[in-house]
Amino acid sequence: MKAITLIAASAVSLAAAAQTPVYLDESAPITDRVADALSRMTLEEKVALSHAQSKFTSPGVPRLGIPELHMSDGPHGVRAEVNWNDWGYAGWTNDSVTAFPALTALAATWNPSLAASYGKAVGEEALYRDKHVMLGPGLNICRTPLCGRNFEYLGEDPYLTGELAVPYIQAMQNQGVAACVKHFAVNNQETWRDNVDVVLSDRALYEIYLPAFRRAVQDGGAWSIMGAYNQIWGEHCCHNARLLNDILRGEWGFDGCVITDWGGAHDTRQAALNGLDLEMGTYTDGLQSDNSLGYEYYYLANPYLDLIRKGEVPMEVVDEKAGHVLTLIFRTAMNRNKPWGSMCTPEHYATAKAIGDESIILLKNNGLLPLLPDKAGRVLVVGDNATRRLTDGGGSSELKPKDYITPLDAIRAKYGAENVAYARGYMAGPPVWGQDIPVPRARLDSMRAEAVAMAKDADVVIYIGGLNKNATQDCEGVDRVKYSLSYDQNTLIDEILDANPNVVIANISGCAYEMPWIKRAPAVMHISYLGTMGGASIADAISGDVNPSGKLPYSIPVRLADCGAHASGQEVCFPGVENAVPDINRGMAPQVEYQEDILVGYRWHDTKKIPALFPFGHGLSYTKFDYGKLTLSDKNLNGDGTLTATISVTNAGPVAGKETVQLYIGDDKCSVLRPVKELKGFEKVTLAPGETTEVTFTITPDDLKFYDPATSQWTVEPGKFTIYIGASSTDIRAKSTFNYSK
């Protein structure tokens, strides 16, 4: 009897095993798991996968035990918890996080290893908060200093952006958290962001605005991509057939999930047929208003279901969309091998500090810096940003940090509280979405007078102003309205310089700004938003405990008209012309033309011979780096071969430091317009005083190519090319030429 019972039990066990769903078997290929899950789902369950169920979640398949997706804004940390059905904060007490430096700070490090540390740390905090998809990194190109979201991006150059994006994405996804790369594509302004139609050439698209996204997909292996709000070719990017079907999936082979920006879908038929997988935030403006109709009325909800039932959407399209969402779920929410995550650890603070340390850019120094604590004397700190918490405001990247070290607190700790006085000097209003609340003139005048009077009695003044996260400053949803600093800061800086020549300008901003006082200022630092550990990084860089090694990830024009996007002075180039073209969804839409074409940033300054105030790649040190002779492995590059370029770098100064060696290549003669030179490589090296190292770059034909719209192919013409090795795009230390032949 016992043997019979055992045999019967074994038979039942085998039968149960045979019926075990493949989608639960993590050893099976994801394609098999997806196919198995789809075979078990109803049409309604498949449709439900393609639209939100709350502000930041989408449904799984409860009947099959497939969990929902939880998303969070990024990319500088995990946003505080938002209410289920509206945009208010939930008021949790356990959602305080590490505020990591802004992506412009990461870009200024020119350090891919720090990008990997960044992605890993954010991924760990997302895991701890039970988030499956982090909305970032942002890879849009800095076309104009006035774009309100420049601080969320990685600068003006597609090569630098791609080199930093890939390790960030890979390290985050190694934690089992999806990077949702945004905003795809040409989302370069906030004015009319939800429907402006961008007019640009295919060369500009492929050479400037798409390369970093392609790297994110093909090299980074991004699991999801967020469509942009704007239009290209008269179609919104979130359901743009050429952008999503032809380029993203057809040319690049993307196998992940396409997600709308919040409120980025506008048409059911286009959303169904043009490559969108998951619709979020419909019936909102992306940030403020609530969904008054309910999630079942999303374009990819009941209206989508109706089209399917009418036979107007093929079932293979339905399965493809649902399959992409399931793939994302299996990679994240159903990944049982991912770690547990952690929050606000010493390791995360150390990562934030390291990024902040290497991001600070020393623009100018006549010897006033480093300001040694035992020789500083009486220090006066001036500026609203010395005490302002710059993680507040800015839109969806706003963070709720557990800890936040202000520059003033860090400077007092460094130089002694008894030796450091503070004058606010100017005041910005609180960060209120959509508003930059003005401060009364009399109040600004009074604060300026107080700061100037105190400056006369100080041995040195440290000015910490710049921009902030208010509307019309560095903020989502609205662009900057001027290139100069707000709140009468230029007047304040001039008067302080009149009162005391020993002034360190340590302004904080997300991009370039006008510096009319630059010739008078003895020492100037350019600093991005550095988050939790930012004050400590600033104090260490000023004192010399950290040797600045940041390099500009964008050019700083002398004036706005020196920027390619603004050179013509025509509104059609920025921000565009309102009600310019028909929009099938909204009647009429604004239109903006990228007349500068491929000449963005330093490409414009070089080619048009318009010097920047500070060029792309610029950044000084407290030591001196000498470059040796550039040697090439060959003077000819043939077919699909390679050649190497090698140069020595020596720390010829008194202290250890880090230098970023930059490689640019120029096509000396071409049948089409090309920039004088383009960044094609860089390496950051650390050297002790007197130490020398060699840096070697490998050059391939891909580094020489331009996009030919006539053939829709990348091509290179035979001829002579110049290699430029420099400490910036204009500080060229060595040059050499080689010939390319097919």
- The reply to whether 32 belongs to the active site is no
Find how far residue 510's CA is from the centre of its chain.
Answer: 11
Kindly state the greatest CA–CA separation across the chain: 103
Q: How far apart are CA 160 and CA 172, in angstroms?
A: 19
Its sign, for the CA torsion 527, 108, 611, 542, is positive
Distances in Å between the Cα of 480 and the Cα atoms of 457, 465, 691, 712 are 35, 16, 44, 36
Q: Are 67 and 334 in contact (CB under 8 A)?
A: yes
Decide: residue 345, CB within 10 A, 0-12 exposed, 13-18 middle, 19+ buried. Answer: middle
Q: What is the DSSP string of 359-408?
A: H-EEEEESS--S--GGG--SEEEE-GGGT--TTS-SSTT---BS----HH
What number of CA atoms fall less than 13 Å from residue 71's CA on the CB side?
29
Given 95, 157, 197, 261, the catalytic residue: 261
Residue 303 CB contacts under 8 Å (≥ 6 apart), including other chains: 268, 297
Q: How far apart are CA 103 and CA 517, in angstroms?
A: 27
> Which has the closest alpha carbon to 92: 62, 72, 115, 66?
72
Q: How far apart are CA 699 and CA 626, in angstroms?
A: 23
Q: Which residue has the tokens 């409860």?
A: 62
Q: Are 363 and 70 in contact (CB under 8 A)?
A: no
* DSSP summary character for residue 23: G
Q: Are 477 and 193 in contact (CB under 8 A)?
A: yes
Phi/psi at 146 (nearest 5 deg)?
A: -85, -10
Q: Any bridge partners for residue 593, and if so which?
A: 199
Q: Are 125 and 343 in contact (CB under 8 A)?
A: yes
Q: Are 209 and 200 in contact (CB under 8 A)?
A: yes
Phi/psi at 51 (nearest 5 deg)?
A: -145, 160
Q: Are 460 and 504 in contact (CB under 8 A)?
A: yes
Q: Does residue 67 have a cis bond before it (omega within 30 degrees)? A: no
Structure tokens at 381: 């700190």
Q: How far apart are CA 720 and CA 427, in angstroms?
A: 55
Q: Are 74 and 397 in contact (CB under 8 A)?
A: yes
Pairing of strands 197-199, 587-593: parallel
Q: Which residues are catalytic?
A: 261
